[in-house]
Amino acid sequence: MCGIVGYIGFRNATDVLIDGLRRLEYRGYDSAGVAVRTPEGLRVVKRSGKLSVLAEALKEERLEGPWGIGHTRWATHGAPTDPNAHPHTTEDGRIAVIHNGIIENYLELKEALRARGHRFRSETDSEVLAHLIEEKYQGDLFQALREALMEVRGAYAVVAVHQDHEELVAARTVSPLVIGLGEGENFLASDVPALLPYTRRVIFLHDGDLARITREGVEIRDLEGNPLAREVVEIDWTLEAAEKGGFPHYMLKEIYEQPWVLENTLGGRLREEEGDVELGLGLDSKALERIHVIACGTAAYAGWYGKYLLEALARIPTEWDVASEYRYRDPVVDERTLAIAISQSGETIDTLEGLREAKAKGARTLGVINAKGSSLTREVEDVLYIHAGPEIGVASTKAYIAMLAAMAMLAVHLGRGRGTLSQEGARELLREMRKLPRLVEEVLEKRPLVAHIAEKYHQAQDFLFLGRHVQAPTAYEGALKLKEISYIHAEAYPAGEMKHGPIALIDEHLPVVVLATRGPLYEKTLSNIQEVRARGGKVIAIATEGDGEIPKLAQDVIPVPEVHPLLAPIVSVVPLQLLAYEIAVLLGRDVDQPRNLAKSVTVE
Ligand code: G6P
């Protein structure tokens, strides 16, 4: 995982590269570097640490030139040091390379290159690319890259420059790479936000594509050298949408965007009259015998929620796995299995590989995805876009809520198709879904209350989150948010399971967040709250507005508006996002770029 940018044109490349890297910092922020063709030749400046460190260094050492490449790193092979930062250059400094991904056979390549006299300056897998290209180079950089890649196994988005050729040459397999098309200038980046200040016309490179980019144009070929035609896509995201919009953090901005995200996800798809949802999928719901849901992190919890709904409404046996487990457990799949991969980025390698596993075994495939043009969208037969817009905060919020809404729509649609959900039942759910944007807006008004609770508990060492049925995934997501951005240890448990172990943890120091909204298991959850209280635990309850019982039992209550119990997680997760956010801010954490994490994990 890393962020890549490239520029060739009439502006000062350094400025474009730093600006682009800033928008890609969510992909990694262990080190950063640029290589720019200056009048004196190709020059590299790179530094460990965040992009701001590099930007400072560039104030001292101005690099002026019309083309160059830049990189922000998330360390895999080799510590985040200056030498391990990209770009990597050849010994004579004429070729520079940036890379995102993993070269699986780099050790054997490195040994062979060393034996042939190459000297390495970093511990990275990426540096072998620079040396390999140098070896193959005979006056044509594109050709050299192509030949070098023939020897490489692994994942890459790679860009190379040579000081004597006014061009960027690039290739991708697995890791994303997008070309931005301008007038008299062209761009390259790992992701669209880096291109938006300059152009909306982009080409998403596919696996195995190589590109030669000059000021005037773009040439794309496959690894064998055959020319390829790739579609030019017009991006409809505004730059403003990809930036903070006045909030102190992207995460907070994204939490506040959730009402309109829900409008986007649901809007135009709900058909209350018919009691159905228009998803434009080519699925024959009656032909399905089972569903496997695969995802990672926050998306995995959306998958778990989806399992409950798919079984409840469509009565299809549904298994749910984190993708890294799914891939290696030899799942039982046949052509009557629908594999659903859920992913914000569409680039998470575990999810992609899990999906490929299901596909290889004959499953039908569906992606529930945010990022248009991402790798996953090209590997699945059907895509259900969640339309959450660009999500920059490393901790996922608005994508989660949109994933929940998408899974709920899918379950209604399949339930109607199979006749397991009545028209009236569907109508009721759809009417409730229609209210969601407004209900989430109401919850956002509770921020002062949540901030007050955060103030009370932000010094706690541990937190426990409890929820049952559809609220179990909400509890897990609440704990994940807190862990990710505040670094407080937080555990989640299905509330009914608490008595089988975690109850031993409860004492007067442990805040316990309980999802206690109205629904079939409400009474049981009340008993769980009693159990916590009896042992001195501090209860923070998320309860349905107007609930008279819970305030008698819990120290703190965050009321959320009433909604159909199956949809309650969509409103209940919002206070948990806010709680994690407020606690992280009080503790002075880096909310948008928490330590050790990356937004999109394209390594296994
Ligand atoms: C990373 C991020 C998580 C995210 C997960 C899955 O671990 O830090 O926030 O939920 O990847 O990402 P995806 O893009 O596949 O939804």
Ligand 1 atom with minimal separation from the 297 CA: 10
Identify the active-site residue in 136, 398, 538, 599.
599
In this predicted structure, what is the pLDDT of residue 237?
75
SS3 assignment, position 450 = helix
Query: What percent of the chain shows pLDDT beyond 70?
Result: 99
Dist CA 244 CA 239 (whole Å):
10
- State the Cα–Cα distance between residues 540 and 82, nearest whole angstrom: 46
Residue 600 has pLDDT above 90, yes or no: no
Ligand 1 center from residue 328 Cα (angstroms): 19
More confident residue, 248 or 246: 248
Strands 511-516 and 462-467: parallel
Q: Are strands 178-181 and 218-222 parallel, antiparallel or unpaired?
A: unpaired
pLDDT higher than 80, residue 77: no
**How far is the centre of ligand 1, averaged over its atoms, from the C-alpha of 145 (Å)?**
31
Q: What is the mean pLDDT of the chain?
A: 94
Model confidence pLDDT, tens digit, residues 411-459: 999 999 999 999 999 999 999 999 999 999 999 999 999 999 999 999 9
Average confidence (pLDDT) over 538-551: 96
Q: What is the pLDDT of residue 27?
A: 76
604 or 520, which is more confident? 520
pLDDT tens per residue across span 160-211? 999 999 999 999 987 889 999 999 999 999 988 899 999 999 999 998 999 9
pLDDT of residue 373: 77
pLDDT at residue 239, rounded to an integer: 73
Contact between 302 and 342 (Cβ < 8 Å)? yes
- Atom 11 of ligand 1, nearest CA residue: 600
Pocket of ligand 1 (CB under 6 A): 296-299, 343-345, 348, 351, 394-396, 597, 599-601
pLDDT tens profile 223-233: 999 999 999 99
pTM confidence score? 0.78
Question: Could you tell me the pLDDT band of residue 509, with boundaries at 50, 70 and 90?
Answer: very high
| Pocket mutation for ligand 1, best pick of 327, 345, 603 (most atoms within 8 Å of C-beta) | 345
- Is residue 2 part of the annotated active site? The answer reads yes
Q: How far is the CA of 70 from the centre of ligand 1 (A)?
A: 24
The span from the CA of 358 to the CA of 356, in Å, is 5
- pLDDT over threshold 80, residue 370: yes
- Portions of the chain given CATH number 3.60.20.10: 3-241
Whether 213 has a pLDDT exceeding 80, the answer reads yes
* Range list for CATH 3.40.50.10490 in the chain: 244-443, 445-604
Overall average pLDDT of the 545-562 stretch: 96
* Residue that the structure tokens 């594999």 belong to: 339
The answer for residues whose C-beta is within 8 angstroms of residue 562's C-beta and 6 or more apart is: 518, 544, 545, 546
pLDDT attached to residue 101: 85
Instruction: List pLDDT tens digits, range 122-163.
Output: 999 999 999 999 999 999 999 999 999 999 988 899 999 999
Give the bridge partners for 212, in sequence order: 169, 219
**Residue 235 pLDDT grade (very low, low, confident, very high; cuts 50, 70, 90):** confident
Please state, for a pLDDT cut of 90, what percent of the chain lies above it.
Answer: 84
Q: Whose CA is nearest to atom 3 of ligand 1?
A: 297
Residue nearest to atom 7 of ligand 1 (CA): 297
| Strands 67-73, 88-89: pairing kind | unpaired
Residue 213 alpha carbon to ligand 1 centre in Å: 31
CA distance 137 to 554: 70
469 membership: H or E segment, kind and range: none
Q: Does domain 445-604 have CATH number 3.40.50.410?
A: no
Per CATH, domain 3-241 is 3.40.309.10: no
Q: What pLDDT does 245 receive?
A: 65
In angstroms, the CA 237 to CA 179 distance is: 16
Residue nearest to atom 2 of ligand 1 (CA): 599
Res 133: pLDDT: 98
What class is the 244-443 domain?
alpha beta
457 vs 591: CA distance, rounded Å: 18
Peptide bond into 87 cis (omega under 30): yes
CA of residue 586 to ligand 1 center, whole Å: 25
Least confident of 262-276, 308-322, 357-371: 262-276
Structure tokens at 200: 């909306």
Residue located nearest, by CA, to atom 8 of ligand 1: 599
Give me the pLDDT at residue 242, please. 65
> What pLDDT shows up at residue 1?
60
Report DSSP letters for 101-120, one per residue: EEETTHHHHHHHHHHTT---
Q: What is the pLDDT of residue 561?
A: 98
Q: Which of 2, 253, 296, 538 is catalytic?
A: 2
Q: Which atom of ligand 1 is nearest to the CA of 395?
A: 9
